[in-house]
Amino acid sequence: MADIEPPAGMSEEQKRRQRWRNIAIALALAALAVLFFAATIVRLGGNVMNRPL
């Protein structure tokens, strides 16, 4: 998969800051997914499997 190029004219500092912001957003979204997964398991417990297949 090719890397997405930052917009032309960005300084190295701007690119560095944008990269770290992207990483922080990715980590926050991953944490949110884990949080909802954990809450679902805790809330439903064993009943998570108790559904028509």
Q: Which of residues 1-53 bind other proteins (CB under 8 A)?
A: 11, 13-14, 17-18, 20-21, 23-24, 32, 35-36, 38-39, 42-43
Assigned token pair, 22 = 């992207």
Q: What is the DSSP letter of 49?
A: G
Cβ-defined contacts of 21-24 (< 8 Å, 24+): none
Q: SS3 of 8, please? A: coil
The minimum distance between CB 53 and other proteins, in angstroms, equals 25
> Residue numbers of the site for other proteins (CB under 8 A)?
11, 13-14, 17-18, 20-21, 23-24, 32, 35-36, 38-39, 42-43
